Structure 1
Amino acid sequence: MDRYDRPSPMGWFARAEAWLDDKGKGAWIAAMVLGFILFWPLGLALLAYMIWSKRMFSKSCRTRTARHGMAAMKSSGNSAFDAYKAETLKRLEDEQEAFESFLERLRAAKDKAEFDQFMEERARKAAETRPDAG
């Protein structure tokens, strides 16, 4: 029997941890609540572990997903593909800038329309309350 074939003493714990990580933070919270319901020290232990391992306050239980942002910057080793990727990323950045400026113009136009409407209502109310001369 190879040493990798033998079940390790922490094997079940590592498998349970990986399974809960795959299901997300909600699964960890559900396990903690069930632990409190079944045997309160178990729920307390799960809460302590979640805080200690920073699972409670992170955006995601999976730490390996944080590395995907750097994958876009990594070279593939193929110069043609890297040039294509760089060109595509540049095009997408340009499109994002154009879209953000469009949204800015759209917000400015909406703000101006709302301000103009306010000024018209204000002028109308002022004209209604103004005593007529004559």
Structure 2
Amino acid sequence: MTQTALIRPAWTPATIALMVLGFMVFWPLGLAMLAYIIWGDRLDTFKADVNRATDDLASSFRKKSGHGTYASSGNAAFDDWRDNELSRLDEERKKLDEMRTEFDQHMRDLRMARDRQEFEQFMADRQARQSKTKKGRSVPEIDG
């Protein structure tokens, strides 16, 4: 998911409009959009957890069957080599999954930093406007 996506799990004008439209058309659509706004950033983590659980389940079945999903070739040296290579590839896949998780966290941190910076800029602009308005509306003193 890119940082400039129009529809992302955040309170953007587009997502709010889609949520309101969803409630007007059919209330479960609005509810689904609200859930996406609130919990959408957790979808990647959820998918990774489901994939990991599925992989673990599949590997447990392979381990129970002996030499993985492949039947014995009849050559013990080849079977050992194949099992070692499959184990090595599985370790590489796990490393890639960990790197992907770290990268996803990095992207979430960058998005949060960008949102924080935009908010701070908004607050600074707002404060500058308010102070400018207060200076322009100086109350004249009443002589009595």
Q: Do they fold alike, i.e. is TM over 0.5?
A: no
TM-score (norm 2): 0.41
Greater CA radius of gyration, 1 or 2?
1
TM-score (norm 1): 0.44
